Amino acid sequence: MTVMEVFFRVPELSASGVRRTRTAPYPHGAAHFPVPHAPVPVACQGDRVIPAVRALARAAMAARPVPLAGLQARAELPVRVDRGYLVPAEVFALFAAELTDRRAAGGPFDALCVNGRRWFRSRSVYYDTPDLRSFHGHRRGAGPRYTIRERLYEDTGERQFEVELPGRHGGTVKHRQPLLPGDPALGAGPRDFLAAVLARAYGLAAPADLHRSLETDHLRATFVTAGQRVTCDAALLCRDPATGRTLRTDGGLVLVRTRTAGGPARADHVLHGHGIRPGAFTPYAGGLGALHPELAAGRWARELRKTFPAARPRAAHAGGTPADGPGGGRKPPRDGGPAATPVSGPGGSSSP
């Protein structure tokens, strides 16, 4: 299941050499998408263009393009500090205009461009134990914490097995290993890699009973300047593999994550100037907490209500959450080979 329905506005030259745009019809006959110099992908819900996607596409087209090698040279940031923001589409438009302004002190942020594209279909599959050990580590914010996921960079076909750990001073350290086409995400190689990462970081044995716990699908654009990277996600869809239940983010919100080597930087200050403050949850914990509010136990209640308006609070299970003991557990599907449409969004191997 996906919210992505793509069309292109194709730039052409007339006989006189004047640039014009040929517009392909929307899938359901919606009005034309008013952004020049295509290609411009549009995500729709029925006939309605998602406002966050419109804002994302406009921002990416307004910026200067930078190739993947340029992004890696400026801000690869394998060890970084992440800050997440929920930004209304109209505020995001102002924020992006300030970042990409070529007259700005320090120079503009540029948009990642791969094979002519400046936004990318992004998929992720997260893995956890039956008692959701990884999720509850994030919920508690204490003890050994890690995130295990498979990522598919759909526009290039690249797949990565990734393990994220908390670093010093609120930072994040990402470890990754490439996956070949057809390789199972939880095959011998990735499991050995996971075991080595957890043993080195915590002296822990890797969990043997991992299952798919969350799948996500979204559209992403990445902006970069020296030492700073900003990823912007729209039309996020979260799916519980065990039940098939899905939730979409509010179509008027762009999920912005700033990534730096240290404290708040220019992008953070611009957002603060618009009255936007960082949120508390990670994509994995937030998505799973929205699908199963009884698990989050109010941990991110305000952010989840804002991000996933269709989510409804539920009473906690009588037996407690999986972190507290038996009775509150879910039964994730066993991994029977390659994950169902894995994984997340580009930036190539440097994408967050």
pLDDT digits (tens, 9 = 90+) for 38-91: 333 346 665 577 899 999 999 999 999 998 888 887 766 666 678 889 999 999
Which residues in the chain show pLDDT less than 50?
1-42, 315-329, 331-352
Q: What is the pLDDT of residue 122?
A: 83
Domains detected in the chain: 1-49 (no CATH), 65-350 (2.40.320)
Encoded amino acid at 321, one letter: T
Q: What is the pLDDT of residue 5?
A: 35
Instruction: Yes or no: say if 305 and 311 are a contact pair by the CB < 8 Å rule.
Output: yes
Q: How far apart are CA 348 and CA 8, in angstroms?
A: 23
Structure token digits, residue 125: 């599959």
- Cα-to-chain-centroid distance, residue 192: 26
- For 308-347, letters b (16+ CB in 10 Å) and e give bbebeeeebbeeebbbeeeebbbebeebeebbeebbbbbb
Q: What is the pLDDT of residue 314?
A: 53
Q: What is the pLDDT of residue 6?
A: 36
Q: What is the pLDDT of residue 172?
A: 77
| pTM of the model as a whole | 0.75
Q: What is the pLDDT of residue 297?
A: 63
